Structure 1
Amino acid sequence: MKLKHILIGVGVLLALLLVLKVTGVIGGEKIEKVTVEAAGNKKVVETVTASGKIQPVTEVKLSSEVSGEVTELLVKEGDVVKKGQLLCKVRPDILQSGYERAVASYNSQKATVASTQQQLVQNQANFVNAEATYKRNVELYNKKVISASEFDAAKAAYLTAKATLASAKENVTASKFGLEQSGANVKEAGANLARTTIYAPVDGVVSKLSIELGDRILGTAQNAGTEIMRISNLTTMEVNVDVNENDINRVNVGDSATIEVDAFADKKFKGVVTEIASSSTNVGTTTSTSVDQVTNFSVKVRIIADSYSAVKGGAKDLPSPFRPGLSATVDIESESENSLAVPIQAIFTGDKEKSASVAATSTNDQNQDKQKAKLNDKNIKQYVYLFDSKTATVKKAVVTTGIQDDQYIIIKSGIKAGQEIVSGPYSAIQNKLKDGLKVEKTTKDKLFSADGKN
């Protein structure tokens, strides 16, 4: 009796397992849940993102041309100055004495010129007298009135007076040249003395003050000198950013940009690319580790004043709300297109490696750049999964892609508008789906809800 009950139980269990097997509850292939989106026209704006620091478009670095102690400092950081305004003075003691020596030398040389000129007048008179005497003695000698020795003496006196006169003329010329040189020395010493007083070369704001009263500074006569301050025109500001070598060819002067400043987290500002460096920022590095360094190019993006004219807060004492040195992130709009597009995470390559999608989990900037370059490589085939609503299956289709933004990528060929493509989840597209696989169409809310999370 007991055996009979056991056999009945086993039979019921086998029947139940058979039913579950037939219905697919046991041993059946799990149906992958996916989200689907119809391909359609989208405006895609491709951007190049880079970060950097805000700086004035016009900035003058001031250094003293002479060395010495700062004896007067008439401005402080943040002061507004006008061109020609006195900024500071350097102790002039040594240069003052040099100027005085030059003036004294000039006056001495001036007296020398006067003395040589007087000597010239005297020598001219002596020559005239000696010449007249010589001419008389020539006649007397020819008439045998005077002896040969007397004639020779008169001739020697004449020639001596002539040479003395020529020498006196040379002395006057030399003394005049000496006077000119002394005058030049006075001008040079005066200019050096004037350099101890430093004036503002342009209108602007003292954006950086590097010295204090009493500091000793080095001049620029034989070296770079000590930077004493910077005067900036803070009316026009720009962001100096580093753009990766993989993106630099997509950036052009005149491209529009959106700027986010860390100090103004809830605001976005407009900008325009004004300058692109011809050489990378790490040109000249020859260390063994330079191979692993990221190669960047400096790009300047001017901030459009109209975009921050109504901004409250920031530097109220300055012409703009931005202080030099603030951190900023710039999205440069390199290209835009309104055409057929699909979600970027729907794209995958033939070997199912990660594409350059914002959904990629890589945290290494260089790896992301390589992935993005791979997606843009025309030699690597790219695909999407088409969804067949009649059979609830997916089919791989080859596509040609164009530009992309953070969400969508342009499709040049391979699919048509209105065709349904699998848009998620990313892990399923990359690793689980295959041609002919049966799937279950669902919504994003259900797919990523607590109950239906994949």
Structure 2
Amino acid sequence: MLLSCTAFSSVATSQVNRQPVRAVAVETGTVYDWAFSEGVAQGIRREYLSFEKGGKITFIASDDNQIPLRAGSRVYGPKAGEKFGQLLARVDERADIESVREFEAALNAARLRIAQADSQLKQVENNLQLAKNSFARNESVWKKKLIPKEKYEASRTELLNAKESLTTAKAELATAKSQEKSALAQLNQAKVALEKTSIFAPFDGVLRKVNVRQGDYWGGPAAATSDRQREASSAMVVVDTREYEVTLNVPYYAGDKLQENQAVFLSWSPAKLLAAAKSGFSGDQVTQGVVYSVSPSINLEQRAIEVKVHTRSGAGLLKDGMHVTAWIMVAKKENVTLVPNSAIVTRNNKPFVYAVTEQSKAELVAVQTGIEDLNQVEITRGLSAGMQVITEGKHKVVNGSDVRLVQESLNE
């Protein structure tokens, strides 16, 4: 049936009078609750290396390209079964080397004396056995009155002398072993003194600072009360860049949500974090870590809670000392009712949404919200999946307004 011109005009006028709005369907999905903060990434393992003895620096190691070690050079710690890692630098150690050689000679002399005393002990033991056998024979013959008493007494004296010689030989061996222990202790002490003239890499890492050069005189590190002062006064600073610790000051009102082992996403760029969030953090654009510790108190200076984060993957995206932004995932809910953040309107400090009815009218619906993340809000009461809620054009409508759905974005 064809509409009359008057009826067609009425329908067109009705469509024109309806407010254009953009709406989306209420969905079911996953929502995350976040806590945001900023901090500085630092290698968890770092050592401030210094010589324990003063002197002229006579050696600075070179890297794989035969260039003297400098900030950024990679160094290598001890391998399995080794006590020391790569030798990095050394001060003049000639006096300590001579001490080591002197005590090595004393140790060798003590061991030679042990060998001589041991040999002497074996001879004495043989002589004692011979004296026992001789005395036994002479005693048997003397009892039969076949030899004079003087010969029997001489044999008995020889046995007593052999026993005394055994006691003396054992004492000599014990003295030689004691001298060996003393020489070994002195040698180890001299080696420890020699070690104090050298710096070794404690683990695989990268040099953050090299404050000495060959030919400089080292007088010892100055007293330091902060990491910055220790870094400036140390000969070298080495950092393990395979894992970082980030110290955050999280607002105190988020403190009840924080706990150990919560997932954390880190980057120097907030834009990279936002892009990674849109992809569900499925790529390798940002560093991932976990909450390592949460302070039970509020920092008096920052009025915030100190949280330490340890990285688990993507540490190569960070640098020691880098300022980073952190997103802490404090909660996650699945299969919940969700609407975009832009759908929420506030009336008297209470949340509402404009739902689109089957009659194409805007209906103001009171809702109860739960977790809110970057793009969407959990609705715990008031809406169900499939309903249409207005996201753009809300300021143009009131409860009961006629609306017209459009696809293009509206300029509010």
Q: Same fold (TM over 0.5)?
A: yes
Native 8 Å contact 2:338 2:376 kept in 1: no
Equivalent position of 1:172 in the other structure = 173
Deviation at 1:414, TM superposition (A): 0.8
Q: Equivalent of 2:141, from 120, 126, 139? A: 139
Q: Equivalent of 1:49, from 19, 23, 36? A: 36
Equivalent position of 2:321 in the other structure = 325
Equivalent position of 2:218 in the other structure = 215
Deviation at 1:191, TM superposition (A): 6.2
Native 8 Å contact 1:44 1:405 kept in 2: no
Q: Within 2, Cα distance between the matches of 1:65 and 1:332? A: 41
Deviations 1:309-337 (A, max 9, x none): xxxxxxxxxxx675421211133566487
Deviation at 1:292, TM superposition (A): 9.4
Equivalent position of 1:275 in the other structure = 290
Unaligned stretches of 5+ residues in structure 2: 1-19, 62-68, 78-84, 222-229, 277-283, 404-408
Q: Within 1, Cα distance between the matches of 2:199 and 2:173? A: 41
Is 1:296 the equivalent of 2:290?
no
Aligned pairs for 1:350-389 within 5 A: 352=348, 383-384=351-352
Q: Within 2, Cα distance between the matches of 1:238 and 1:128? A: 73
Deviation at 1:195, TM superposition (A): 6.0
Is 1:259 the equivalent of 2:271?
no
The secondary structure found in structure 1 opposite 2:304 is coil
Is 1:76 the equivalent of 2:77?
no
Q: Within 1, Cα distance between the matches of 2:119 and 2:343? A: 101
Change (3 A) 1:270 1:145: closer
Once superposed, what is the RMSD of the aligned Cα atoms?
A: 5.3
Change (3 A) 1:164 1:400: same
Native 8 Å contact 2:87 2:199 kept in 1: yes
Deviation at 1:182, TM superposition (A): 3.8
Is 1:403 the equivalent of 2:401?
no
Give 1:343's aligned amino acid.
Answer: N
Equivalent position of 1:313 in the other structure = none
Q: Within 1, Cα distance between the matches of 2:103 and 2:260? A: 62
Q: Select the structure with the greater relative contact order (CA < 8 A; seq sep ≥ 6).
A: 2
Deviation at 1:341, TM superposition (A): 1.3
Deviation at 1:92, TM superposition (A): 3.0
Deviation at 1:405, TM superposition (A): 2.4
Larger Rg: 1
The secondary structure found in structure 2 opposite 1:296 is strand
Native 8 Å contact 2:354 2:363 kept in 1: yes
Deviations 1:264-318 (A, max 9, x none): 99998822533321x32x45x7x9x86995333322346748xxxxxxxxxxxxx
Q: Equivalent of 1:240, from 246, 270, 283? A: 246
Q: Within 1, Cα distance between the matches of 2:411 and 2:39? A: 38
Native 8 Å contact 1:276 1:300 kept in 2: yes
Q: Within 2, Cα distance between the matches of 1:65 and 1:141? A: 79
Q: Within 1, Cα distance between the matches of 2:344 and 2:145? A: 132
Q: Within 2, Cα distance between the matches of 1:198 and 1:336? A: 53
Q: TM-score, normalised by structure 1?
A: 0.54
Equivalent position of 1:373 in the other structure = none
Is 1:418 the equivalent of 2:412?
no
Deviation at 1:49, TM superposition (A): 1.8
Deviations 1:251-274 (A, max 9, x none): 734x6x463449999998822533
Moved more, 77-86 or 415-424: 415-424
Q: Within 1, Cα distance between the matches of 2:54 and 2:379? A: 68
Give 1:136's aligned amino acid.
Answer: N
Change (3 A) 1:146 1:159: same
Q: Within 2, Cα distance between the matches of 1:231 and 1:92? A: 23
Q: Within 2, Cα distance between the matches of 1:290 and 1:260? A: 27
Equivalent position of 1:231 in the other structure = 238
Q: Within 1, Cα distance between the matches of 2:210 and 2:333? A: 44
Native 8 Å contact 1:64 1:196 kept in 2: no
Deviations 1:326-362 (A, max 9, x none): 211133566487854153694659xx56xxxxxxxxx
Q: Within 1, Cα distance between the matches of 2:377 and 2:159? A: 107
Equivalent position of 1:103 in the other structure = 104
Give 1:327's aligned amino acid.
Answer: H
Native 8 Å contact 1:346 1:424 kept in 2: no
Native 8 Å contact 2:353 2:389 kept in 1: no
Q: Within 1, Cα distance between the matches of 2:244 and 2:355? A: 48
Give 1:325's aligned amino acid.
Answer: G
Q: Within 1, Cα distance between the matches of 2:125 and 2:390? A: 116
Q: Within 2, Cα distance between the matches of 1:194 and 1:402? A: 62
The secondary structure found in structure 2 opposite 1:270 is coil
Change (3 A) 1:423 1:228: farther
Q: Within 2, Cα distance between the matches of 1:39 and 1:264? A: 27
Change (3 A) 1:80 1:150: closer
Unaligned stretches of 5+ residues in structure 1: 1-34, 219-224, 306-319, 354-381, 426-435, 447-454
Deviations 1:59-98 (A, max 9, x none): 5526468544462334221224456653111443564354
> How many corresponding residue pairs?
340
Equivalent position of 2:4 in the other structure = none
Native 8 Å contact 2:31 2:377 kept in 1: no
Q: Percent identity?
A: 18
Equivalent position of 1:88 in the other structure = 89
